[in-house]
Chain A
Amino acid sequence: MITTNEILETIEMISQQHLDIRTITMGISLRDCGRTDLKACCDKIYDKVTTRAQNLVRVGEDIQREFGIPIVNKRISVTPVAIACECCEAEDYTPLAQALDRAAGEVGVNFIGGFSALVQKGFTVGDERLLRSIPQALASTGRVCSSVNVASTKAGINMDAVAQMGRVVKETARLTQGQGCARLVVFANAVEDNPFMAGAFHGTGEPECVINVGVSGPGVVHSALKKVRGQPFNVVAETVKKTAFRVTRMGELVAQEASKRLGVPFGIVDLSLAPTPAVGDSVADILEEMGLESVGAPGTTAALALLNDAVKKGGVMASSNVGGLSGAFIPVSEDAGMIRAAAAGRLTIEKLEAMTCVCSVGLDMIALPGDTTAETISAIIADESAIGVINQKTTAVRVIPVPGAKVGDTVDFGGLLGSAPIMAVNPASARDFVARGGRIPAPIHSLRN
């Protein structure tokens, strides 16, 4: 029998420490949706998504009520559109994004990911069309998320794609006053089963339909660490591990239940610690609890490395199907502690870049001055890609050059996306570097066979 204390502990985690299931994401293959005629292609996509996901939101809400655990988001990821719809003869893929947007609205999910292309080694015709369509696609939809993989440890870094994505980010910002960039991620080593937006897509090695679950719980980890204040790091690591174990077990239970009720196979649980702008739901708070005056201070990278590793160790004990990104996220605008440190000038882009070497993903939800050039954004993407490629990990860039904004201004993205102070970028130019194009070759340790 479960003890009173265990029951009350669980309830406190949910009611006061923001423990929740961040997302149940249904992955849907669109590989049978390609049609040469654009309208037929759009219709097929709409029909497939609305049929497969018709019960997703209702089942999510039922599980939430029965287990008493909030399930914050219900979302959908689809096969990268550049692959699924390559046979479509249209030059402009925007209507495909709009079909996805309508389907997402019809089934009641807040985001649908997969307006994506994988171009780490080069472009196909469909990839080129998709990349050209991204700014307009994001400007004319509200739920569609786009991602482009420009590098991998096996292929190296496609610097032509990096250069182009700098321009795509700038153009998206121009058309959407920056807002659209919150739904656009540039990846290195993108994973095929990530349930978190904006980078989720349904990889080509995935089944027809799958359920992936992303858990959360920075507040729970923070609360647990408060109880071991001042104790050595092996105690800190052990505490994080135990907490991550519990959080993941809950995620696994919800994932199994959702999979059973929807009649769709269970894919993975993603262990990521995903913050929200709510007070007490911050990864920065955890780092500061370890003894740092502010996130960004010397010691931040080491603290984050410990956190990221301990979360994984606890999580893998709790589920046999761990996948996705599984680490700590450090999105600046979505984390009250990161916002505070960035606004006070204690957290810089350079420190964030160092932090991305030891945690999942990368430079995430960072607002940049409006006059940041496309070349500078490309160079930032190249740096992040290099970290991912060399360290055989996923990295990503989701930056928002806000038109007209200067360092010191604050922009609000609304809801879970939060608000962010505009951060300073090194003003030195990388124009000639980005203009070279071509491919940075794969590193020597990619040759493992």
Chain B
Amino acid sequence: MKAIVTVIGRDTVGIIAGVCSILAANGVNVLDISQTVMREYFTMIMLVDTAGCRVDFAELSEILKKAGAERGLDIRIQREDIFEAMHRI
């Protein structure tokens, strides 16, 4: 299953490394990354494949959310379908 990870918050050193290591540790494959820094706000969007994920989706979502909160970041993981449904006919 494909999902979108979004990371939004104040830019600090090592955000990408931190998120990627959590994903790798749980068997989630990163397919695509785009990131920008607007003013001092960091926005990263990742397309990931959760087919090989070793924990269930809810747990992964909780792990990411918690890790984000520790660094003052808003990290979400959502199934890709919701964006497809809202923006594509």
Contacts and interface: CB of A to CB of B under 8 A. Distances in A.
Contacts of A246: 86-87
B10 interface: no
B77 interface: yes
Interface string B3-45: 0101010000000000000000000000010101000000101
Interface string B58-89: 10010000000000001011111111111110
B34 A4 contact: yes
Nearest to A12: B8
Main secondary structure of the interface of A (DSSP, over half): helix
A65 B36 contact: no
Nearest to A62: B58
A2 interface: yes
A384 interface: no
B48 interface: no
Interface residues of A, number: 20
B79 A249 contact: no
B33 to A, nearest CB: 11
Nearest to A2: B83
Interface residues of B, number: 26
Contacts of A11: 6, 8, 76
A118 interface: no
A2 B4 CA distance: 10
Given A2-B83, A6-B87, A253-B85, A66 B47 contact: no
A4 B79 contact: no
Given A1-B47, A7-B6, A8-B43, A67 B86 contact: no
A158 B59 CA distance: 55
A69 interface: yes
B61 A65 contact: yes
A39 B32 CA distance: 61
A164 interface: no
Interface of A: 1-2, 4, 6-8, 10-11, 15, 62, 65-69, 246, 249-250, 252-253
Given A7-B6, A11-B76, A67-B81, 10 more contacts: A2-B83, A4-B34, A4-B45, A6-B83, A7-B45, A65-B61, A67-B78, A68-B79, A249-B85, A253-B81
